Every structure is written in C-alpha cells, then in structure tokens.
Structure 1
Amino acid sequence: MVRRSGEATRQEIRAAAARLFRERGFARTSVRDIAAQAVTNPALVIRHFGTKELLFLDTMQFTIDDEPLLDVPLERFGERFVEVLLSDDDIRGVYLALVRGSNEAQIRARLQAVHERTFVEPVRARLEGPDADVRARIAAALVGGLLYALWVVEDEGLVKADRGELIAHYGALLQQALAGPTGPTSHRPTAAPPR
C-alpha cells in the first residue's frame, strides 16, 4: 500500500465526508464511515478535523455564483434568481445536508449564515427604499420555501412540474415580493366601496 502525505489524506477525508454528508446527512454519517470511504483510520479523521461537526462545517459550503444575478434588469431578477438556484445540483446537496443537520447549534448557525449571505444579501443589493431589507427577506423566505418544498418534502406536483414553468411562476412571485405592497407589479386589495 502506498503511503499518502498528510495533505493527501486530509483531501481524501474531505471528499469522502462531503459525499457521505450529502447522501446521508449529518446524523447518519459516522466518523468510521468517513474513514472507511477515505481508506484511512478514524483517528486520523479526528486528528485532521477535530470533530465530525467541524468536518461537516468544513465540507458543507453553500455558495452561488452572483454574476448571473448582476447581469439582469431588476424586473427579471426574480426569475433569474430561481433559475440560478435550481440549476446547481451542488446547492441541493449542501442545502439538504444543512437542513438535516440543523438540530446541531453550529450547523444551524451555518444554515442561518447561508440564508443571510446567499438568499437575503444578493436580493437586498438590488433593491432601494426604506423597506428594501424587509422585501429582500420576504423574497428569501419565498426561495427557502421553494427549496424546502422541492428538496425536503419533495412535493410531487412541483418536482414533476415543467422546470421553465416553475421558474416563471416562482419568478413572478419573487418579483411581487421585490416590488413590495405599493410596487408596480403588486396586487393590493382595493377597499370595498362605502355603503
């Protein structure tokens, strides 16, 4: 058997852990499972990463490419944002792993940071006005709800829906959230005529 360097062993552990955490989640992945996949000793997993939770946090990084979001006019931003999120399978794996492990305090904190950095900030950066933060958070909540319905509960109707149609419908909802209650695309209920 060829002996690997410390860095090579570390990378093998990271790759095995990332794969198992995405497939099984945090709770159903053991240090022994990771070591077996990396063809190493469980003690080396702990030596290199400290704890399973720290290894999880090291390997479950959630990012999106902001570039496609900056190139579209604001009136098309909602649709483009949904399209970008749904086009990356890596996002799905990491999102599910974070949600499944969110009963652990550090993992929940990472999920909160991901929500802020990935869902709220790119949207807020495109908005103006005193209620920009609230509108960005509402839009982020809509996106989070879509990902939950698609990837956590696997809503059959949404999973089987035409992808382009889903992007168009959800993009329109996001545009409403971005516009706010007095925006040009909002549908404010009108008051009943006086009697």
Structure 2
Amino acid sequence: MASASTRDDIRSAASRLFRERGFARTTVREIAAQAGVDPALVIRHFGTKELLFLETMRLSMNDEPLLDVPPERLGERFVEVLLDGDEPSREIFLALVRGSGEPRIAARLKETHEKAFVEPLRARLTGPDAETRARMAGALVAGLLYSLWVAGDERLLAADRSELVTRYGALVQQVLTPGE
C-alpha cells in the first residue's frame, strides 16, 4: 500500500510543480523533494520525467453547458465556457504549450486541442463542411486562449468579460453557422 501512496505523493507534487514551472524548469529531484521521496523512486514509478508529465497534465473540458444551447448561441456559449475555466485548466494548458518542444508533449497538446476545442463543437454541427467549421472555430478559441494566457495580451485581459464573450462569440458563431 505504501507504493500507491508514494505514487500519489509523486503525482501530486509533479502536477503542482509542472503547473507552476512547466516541464523544462521542473527537475526530478524537485519533484522527489516535494513528495518526500528519493529521486530514484520517481523514475521507478513513472519511467521518465516526460512520462510523469504526460500522466499528470491532462486537460479536459466539461462540454455539458453546450448541450442545451440553441445552435445560434453556440459560439458565445463556447467562449464563455472556456473563459470560465478554472485555474488548474489554465495552468495545464500553459504547461502543455510550454513543453510542446518534446514530441510526446506536442502530441498531447494536439490531442487536447481535438478533445477540448474541436470535438465539442463538431458534435453540435451538421452539414458536409461541419468538420472544417469545427476546426476553424477551435482554432479561433485556441487563439484567444493563446492571446490571454500565453502572450498575456494586457488589453484583452483588461477587457470587459461580457463584451469579450459577446464579440469573440460572434466571430466563432460566424464560422460555425456562416450565412445564417
């Protein structure tokens, strides 16, 4: 049973450090120190720092708030849901972006983009170009999060939230339902 507890301690310490510092600036020794274990145990339980990162840095989106929204409000609601995301989600997104120089982390970022941005929109769309529209809208919202969270665009960060939701939501909506 000590093994499961040790794994949980390591996972918890790694998650906290990766979210705070990112992949490159976090060492196995720091993770071990935070978990109160020998660094060799980190490797024994998880193999590599990268595998530990991949196990602890998972981002998912609760797409339930999108299900009851009429199609003509989907863009605005999607932006609202993303902006309402919790702090750990933001930190995980940033850790994935910052660590994306590593091939497996880049693959996780791509997977996250598909599951968090494209799939929830694709599930609500119909028509022959639904896949393309979902991908374009996913790219739009990913760009917004990049501007806010990675680039730290001070004017966007200071913008009125409801205006940001309304205006950016209208852009996303235009891609989702062109000509409607």
The correspondence for 2:130, drawn from 126, 129, 132, is 132
Contact 1:85 1:91 in 2 (8 A): no
Task: Name the counterpart of 1:187.
Answer: none
Q: 1:103 aligns with which of 95, 101, 104?
A: 101
> Any conservation in 1 of the 2:72–2:177 contact (CA below 8 Å)?
no
Distance 1:82 1:139 in 2: 10
Select 1:59's aligned residue among 56, 59, 74: 56
TM-score normalized with structure 2 length: 0.97
CA deviations on 1:38-62 (whole Å, 9 max, x unpaired) are: 1111101101100000000000011
Could you say which residue in structure 1 is the equivalent of 2:24? Answer: 27
Letter in 1 for 2:4: E
Asked whether 1:83 is paired with 2:84, we answer no
Runs of 4 or more consecutive aligned structure 1 residues displaced over 4 Å after TM superposition: none
1:13 equivalent to 2:7? Answer no
**Partner of 1:92 in structure 2?**
90
Please say if residues 77 and 175 of structure 1, whose CA atoms lie closer than 8 Å, have aligned partners that are also in contact.
Answer: yes
Q: Sequence identity, in percent? A: 66
Aligned CA-pair RMSD: 1.0
Q: Distance in 2 between matches of 1:91 and 1:64?
A: 9
* 2:66 aligned to which of 69, 93, 99: 69
C-alpha displacement of 1:6: 0.9
Count how many residue pairs are aligned between Structure 1 and Structure 2.
Answer: 179
Determine the C-alpha separation between the residues in 2 that align with 1:67 and 1:116.
Answer: 17
Matched residue, 2:45: 48
**Which structure 1 segments of 5+ residues have no match?**
185-195
2:169 to 161, 171, 193: 171
Residues 102 and 108 in structure 1, CA contact (< 8 A), matched pair in contact too: yes
Unaligned runs of 5+ in 2: none
Higher relative contact order (CA closer than 8 Å, sequence separation 6+): 2
Decide whether the 8 Å contact of 2:11 with 2:52 is kept in 1.
Answer: yes
Q: TM-score, normalised by structure 1?
A: 0.89
SS for the counterpart of 2:109 is helix
Equivalent in 139, 142, 148 of residue 150 of structure 1 = 148
Bigger fraction of residues in helix: 2
